[in-house]
A and B are shown apart, each in its own frame.
Chain A
Amino acid sequence: MNVLKYLFVGFVFGIVLTKSEAVSWYRIYEMFQFQSFHMYGIIMVAVVTGVIGIQIIKRNNIKDSKGLPIEIQEKEPGSARFWIGGIFFGLGWALVGSCPGPIFILIGAGFLPVLLVLFGALLGTFIYGIVKDKLPH
């Protein structure tokens, strides 16, 4: 495993999310209040870039860096899980203004209270692991 390439991609991700202010609680609040185009623009351009890239990969059967065919994982089956889980995540996202990536980036940026969010996120993940089989998916 080439350690540096993953560190580098993560490093770029951390810089971009901080410099675009997508990690900012203010930007997330502004987005959910429909008072700025900034976040919508970021997500849309990222998705358009992604769609074009994935189509290029699929149509040209581009191999990955190890020379293996690129297979893009399908998400798990289900329907209810996406709606209900999505709503839970949305509630948290709008409350503390961070998704999982920014939680780590903000800790790096030095916001110590975000450690509480990380603790909660690990706890929430753990709770899901325990009650998973009782939930509709």
Chain B
Amino acid sequence: MEIIFQTWTWYVSGFLIGMVMLSLVYFGKSFGMSSNLSTLCSMTGIGKRVAFFNFDWQAQRWNLLVVLGAVLGGFVAAHFMSDASNVSINPKTIAQLAQMGIDAPNGKLMPDALFGNAIFESPKMILILIIGGVLIGFGTRYASGCTSGHAISGLSNLQIKSLKAVIGFFIGGLLMSHFLLPLILKL
């Protein structure tokens, strides 16, 4: 029973994520989470005004079901399968985070400083989360894929385009993590 509550190792987790991708391929679909964002936009009927969203979103219902399953999976894992020993990161990382005013995990998935409900009272934090989301939504659609579509599906299919995108992800990620994030949090 231990296994249910412990942090899952990288090799078990990586294998299962690979199998999730392959299952969808076997169902005649593909593994890509960011396209659901387009589908959600399209469902509002905005396709009448913006051609990019003018597609048959009903054909993407299967992917919305995958998303719904993922939401349920997140709920079950967080509420019934977690343990106070969970997220434990490199002590060096914790020290660095403390300097930026971010609380240590102590088993929590997310820092309170960024994702505690108290942030709803901070216009700065609200803006940070929305801007982060805008970068994710804009960037994934521009690059036509995210971690699931490019890093997992694309690289598995040995696509050079996906390799370019993944290198882009890391250029952006390293810039943010090493240079911009400390500045943004200091503002």
Contact = CB atoms under 8 A, between A and B. Distances in A.
Question: Does A pair with B?
Answer: yes
B89 A11 contact: no
Interface in A79-137: 79, 81-101, 103-114, 116-130, 132, 135
Given A86-B167, A95-B135, A96-B129, A107 B71 contact: yes
Given A35-B90, A35-B93, A14 B71 contact: yes
B46 to A, nearest CB: 7
A104 B165 CA distance: 22
Given A42-B10, A120-B134, A125-B138, A81 B143 contact: yes
A100 B69 CA distance: 14
B146 A100 contact: yes
A20 B81 CA distance: 12
B187 interface: no
A43 to B, nearest CB: 6
Interface residues of B, number: 125
A27 B105 CA distance: 10
Contacts of B9: 20
Contacts of A53: 18-19, 21-22, 25, 156
B84 interface: no
Given A65-B26, A94-B181, 13 more contacts: A19-B77, A20-B13, A27-B89, A49-B14, A49-B19, A53-B21, A87-B175, A91-B173, A101-B70, A109-B77, A113-B120, A120-B135, A129-B41
7 contacts: A7-B65, A9-B27, A10-B69, A12-B16, A46-B14, A85-B142, A91-B139
Interface of B: 7-28, 30, 33-34, 36-38, 40-41, 46, 50, 52-53, 61-63, 65-79, 81-82, 86-87, 89-90, 92-93, 96-97, 105, 109-111, 114-117, 119-120, 125-126, 128-148, 150-159, 161-162, 164-178, 180-181, 184
